[in-house]
Amino acid sequence: MKTVLDERTVAASHPSAVPPAWAAGVVGIVAGAVALGVAQLVAGLFAPETNPVTAVGGVAVDLAPAPLKDWAIATFGEADKAVLIGGILAVLAVIAAALGVLASHRSPRYGTAGFVLFGLVGAAAAVTRPAAGLLDAVPSLAGTLAGVRALPILLRRATPRAGDLPVAPDDLRTADDEPQLASAASGPAGRTGVLRLVHPPVKPPITRPLRPPVMRAGAELRAVDRRGLLTGAVAGIAVAGAGLFAGNALSGGRQVDVARDTLRLPPPARPAPPLPAGADLRIAGLAPFVTSNDDFYRVDTALIIPRVDPASWTLRVHGMVSRPIEITFDELIRRPLIEADVTLTCVSNEVGGPYIGNARWLGASMADLLREAGVSPEADMLLSTSADGWTCGTPLDVVMDGRDALFAVAMNGEPLPVAHGFPARQVVPGLYGYVSATKWVTEIKVTRFDRDEAYWTSRGWAAKGPIKTQSRIDVPKWGATVPAGRTTIAGVAWAQHRGISAVEVRVDDGPWRQARLAETPGPDTWRQWVIDDWEATPGRHRIQVRATDAAGHTQPEEPRPPAPDGATGWHTVEVEVTA
The predicted-structure confidence for 35-75, as pLDDT tens digits, reads as follows 999 998 898 887 777 888 888 887 777 777 777 767 777 77
In a domain, 30, yes or no: yes
Q: Is there a single domain that holds both residue 53 and residue 144? A: yes
64 inside domain: yes
CA angle (77 as vertex; 71, 82 as ends), nearest 5:
100
Q: DSSP assignment of 224-249, as one string?
A: --HHHHHHHHHHHHHHHHHHHHHHHH
What's the distance, CA 291 to chain centroid?
23
Is 375 in contact with 463 (CB distance < 8 Å)? no
Cα–chain-centroid distance for residue 45? 21
Same-domain check for residues 491 and 438: no
Three-class SS state of 80: helix
The pairing of strands 470-475 and 325-328 is unpaired
Model pLDDT, residue 160: 78
> Looking at the domain assignment, is residue 187 inside a domain?
yes
Question: What's residue 252's pLDDT?
Answer: 65
Domain end (from 438, 459, 480):
459
Burial class (CB in 10 A: 0-12, 13-18, 19+), 558: exposed
Residue 273 domain flag: no
Question: Does residue 283 lie within any of the structural domains?
Answer: no
Q: What is the pLDDT of residue 78?
A: 72
Give the Å distances, CA to CA, from 186 to 191, 214, 420.
8, 19, 71
CA dist., res. 559 & res. 357, Å (int)? 22
Are 431 and 327 found together in one domain? yes
Which stretches of 385-540 are DSSP H helices?
A: 396-399
Peptide bond into 476 cis (omega under 30): yes
Complete edge-to-edge strand list for the sheet that includes strand 513-514: 481-483, 571-578, 539-549, 500-507, 513-514
- Residue 539, classed as helix, strand or coil, is strand
Q: Which of 397, 570, 380 is nearest to 468 (CA)?
A: 570
Specify if 271 maps to a domain: no
DSSP 379: -
Angle at 55 between CA 52 and CA 59, to 5 degrees: 135
CA 280, 282, 285, 291: dihedral to nearest 10 degrees?
40
Convert the pLDDT of each residue in 392-414 to its tens digit.
Answer: 999 999 999 999 999 999 999 99
Answer whether residue 303 is part of any domain. Answer: no
Asked if residue 545 and residue 475 are part of one domain, the reply reads yes
336 near 363, Cβ under 8 Å?
no
Q: What is the DSSP letter of 558?
A: S
Residue 285 and residue 283: Cα distance in Å, rounded?
6
In the chain, how many domains are there? 4
Q: CA 399 → CA 271, 367, 370, distances in Å?
A: 20, 6, 9
Cα angle 558, 564, 568; round to 5: 25
Q: How far apart are CA 464 and CA 566, in angstroms?
A: 11
Same domain, 153 and 21: yes
Distances in whole angstroms, Cα of residue 489 to Cα of each of 240, 283, 350, 484, 547:
54, 10, 20, 13, 14
Domain boundary among 459, 478, 512: 459
| Inside any domain, residue 259 | no
Preceding amide of 152 cis, omega within 30 = no
Q: At what angle do helices 80-105 and 21-46 cross, to 10 degrees?
A: 130
d(CA 126, CA 507): 54
Within this chain, do residues 527 and 447 fall inside the same structural domain, yes or no? Answer: no
- One domain, residues 117 and 245: yes
Residue 444 near residue 316 (C-beta atoms within 8 A): yes
Phi/psi at 530 (5° precision): -155, 145
Asked if omega into 336 is within 30° of 0 (cis), the reply is: no
In this structure, are 414 and 340 located in the same domain? yes
Are 187 and 230 in a shared domain? no
Give pTM, 2 decimals: 0.75
CATH number of the domain encompassing residue 525: 2.60.40.650
pLDDT at 49: 76
Q: Are residues 325 and 450 in the same domain?
A: yes
CA distances from 526 to 290, 342, 404 (A): 10, 8, 15
CATH at 331: 3.90.420.10
Question: How many angstroms separate the first and last alpha carbons of the chain?
Answer: 103
The three-state (H, E, C) secondary structure of 475-514, written as one string: ECCCCCEEECEEEEEEEEEECCCCCEEEEEEEECCCCCEE
What is the span of the domain harbouring residue 402? Answer: 314-459
Residues of the chain with pLDDT under 70: 1-17, 69, 131, 161-222, 251-252
Say if residue 427 is in the same domain as residue 519.
no
β 571-578/481-483 pair status? parallel
* Neighbouring residues of 565: CB distance < 8 A, sequence distance ≥ 6: 347, 432, 461, 462, 465, 468
DSSP 15: G
Regarding whether 155 and 171 lie in a shared domain, the answer is: no
Distance, CA of 213 to CA of 30 (rounded, Å) = 34
Last residue of a domain, one of 399, 430, 459: 459
**Three-state secondary-structure class, residue 147:** helix
